Amino acid sequence: MSIGVPELQEPLIGLGFADTVGEVETMVTQVDADGSGMIEFDEFLGIIKKADKDEGTREITNFFKKLTSGEIGSKDISFSLFVQRQRRQHLMSAVIGEKGSSSKKKGRKIMENLKLKMEQEKQDALE
């Protein structure tokens, strides 16, 4: 099993682990040992092994640990639906969160990144 940039864009940008598609591409390039443009299982394990060395990978690793341990998420919904629900919660924090709170700041950052991503997709469709 392998996963590429298109499949990673939505969860990484939508959950605030990356700001742009370019950052997602960089993340993939950094761990893509064979240069295939895809992350295979052994490469994914490499991410997990070096998770504490980089803040971004540490955040992603902690997210997946919480997800797989049942601390967050649900066995009753798909990963895609879970990501959408988490993203909605971040966006709601952006709108109605306490002024100056870290959750409001993260939500606003995610909102801006999603806006830029949608504008880029619209521009790409027009070309």
Q: What is the pTM of this model?
A: 0.66
Name, in order, each residue with C-beta under 8 angstroms of 122's C-beta and a sequence gap of 6 or more.
none
Q: What is the pLDDT of residues 80-99, one digit of tens each?
A: 788 888 889 999 999 999 99
Local structure of residue 53 (DSSP, 8 states): G
Please give the pLDDT value at position 13: 87
Inter-residue contact 24 to 8 (CB < 8 Å): yes
Q: For residue 52, what are its two tokens? A: 């504490």
Please give the pLDDT value at position 115: 92
Please name which of 62, 106, 60 lies closest in space to residue 87, comparing C-alpha atoms.
Answer: 106
Listed as own residue / partner, the contacts of 55-59 with beta carbons closer than 8 Å and 24 or more positions apart are 56/17, 56/18, 56/27, 59/17
Mean pLDDT score of the chain, rounded to an integer? 83
Interatomic CA distance for residues 82 and 109, integer angstroms: 20
* Domain residue extents for the chain: 2-126
Q: What is the pLDDT of residues 4-41, one digit of tens each?
A: 788 888 888 888 888 888 888 888 887 788 888 888 87
